[in-house]
């Protein structure tokens, strides 16, 4: 099992969570903690970069869906960076690419999250 690491930083007008490792039931508490902090503390759009995630199950998907819902209620944007491969396939199978604003790179995710926060 690859441990999960989550780093939070500020970037060009948005908050960024960079995730690395496996996102599953075993690592969900770490991810949940990082997402909860970001939702509670930040007033800017949130982008979650999953480019370095090697595995994600339905637990990870549920955390991201829940986070998006919470941010929408607060009028804040949300987007995910996922450049393709097996992790992107999870979003495709669940039909969540559009609703979660899954984007291939940080720039398109920044645009999507920023536009969503203005909607």
31-43: buried (b, 16+ CB within 10 Å) or exposed (e) per residue? beebbeebbeebe
Alpha helices in 43-85 (DSSP H): 58-73
Identify the bridge partners of residue 104 per DSSP, sorted by sequence position. none
| Tens-digit pLDDT profile for residues 3-20 | 899 999 998 789 999 999
| Tens-digit pLDDT profile for residues 61-116 | 999 999 999 999 999 999 999 998 999 999 999 999 999 999 999 999 999 999 87
Domain total in the chain: 1
| Tens-digit pLDDT profile for residues 46-65 | 999 999 999 999 999 999 99
Identify the bridge partners of residue 9 per DSSP, sorted by sequence position. 16
The CATH number of the domain holding residue 98 is: 3.30.750.24
Domain that holds residue 13: 5-118
For residue 119, pLDDT over 70 is answered with no
């Amino acid at each position: 099992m690859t441990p999960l690491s989550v780093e939070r930083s500020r970037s060009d007008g948005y908050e960024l969570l960079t995730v690395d490792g496996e996102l599953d039931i075993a690592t969900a508490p770490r991810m949940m903690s990082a997402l909860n902090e970001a939702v509670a503390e930040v007033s800017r759009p949130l982008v979650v970069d999953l480019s370095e995630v090697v595995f994600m199950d339905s637990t990870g998907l549920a955390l991201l869906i829940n986070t998006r819902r919470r941010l929408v209620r607060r009028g804040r944007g949300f987007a995910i960076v996922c450049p393709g491969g097996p992790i992107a396939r999870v979003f495709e199978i669940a039909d969540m690419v559009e609703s979660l604003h899954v984007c291939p790179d940080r720039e398109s995710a920044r645009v999507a999250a920023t536009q969503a926060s203005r909607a």
